[in-house]
Amino acid sequence: DAGVIQSPRHEVTEMGQEVTLRCKPISGHDYLFWYRQTMMRGLELLIYFNNNVPIDDSGMPEDRFSAKMPNASFSTLKIQPSEPRDSAVYFCASSLGPRVETQYFGPGTRLLVL
């Protein structure tokens, strides 16, 4: 299996632009997680899905952030409009079942908002 796939790996954009991050979970996994990693706050869970349904989005920082999972093999995290403080590494993870220790992480998308 190719593991969790994220694209793009790097994104540089200007403040105010829309940013879309993409994730393909491991085939057969029914949970998908989006995390954000910053120097100040470390790793934070933003949102997670079970069977394509958002279960907990309490970590989403504000309305500028939205996440969707239209099918079992694809999810997006969108920031509109982007701000410099959104600069971070965004990780996607997937798991088969709810056991957290079974989460497999993608390589991350490094986002820089100028």
Partner 1 sequence: AQSVTQLDSQVPVFEEAPVELRCNYSSSVSVYLFWYVQYPNQGLQLLLKYLSGSTLVKGINGFEAEFNKSQTSFHLSKPSVHISDTAEYFCAVTPYGGATNKLIFGTGTLLAVQP
Residues that bind partner 1 (CB under 8 A): 4, 31, 33, 41-45, 48, 55-56, 91, 93, 95, 98, 100-101, 103-108
Strand spans (E) along the chain = 5-7, 10-13, 19-24, 31-38, 42-50, 53-56, 65-71, 74-79, 88-95, 104-105, 109-113
Q: Least CB distance from residue 13 to partner 1, whole Å? A: 20
CA dist., res. 42 & res. 23, Å (int) = 21
- Rank residues 59 and 81 by Cβ distance to partner 1 and give the closer one: 59
DSSP state of 58: T
CA dist., res. 22 & res. 78, Å (int) = 9
Q: Least CB distance from residue 42 to partner 1, whole Å? A: 4
Q: Least CB distance from residue 80 to partner 1, whole Å? A: 25
Q: Least CB distance from residue 43 to partner 1, whole Å? A: 4
- Rank residues 14 and 56 by Cβ distance to partner 1 and give the closer one: 56
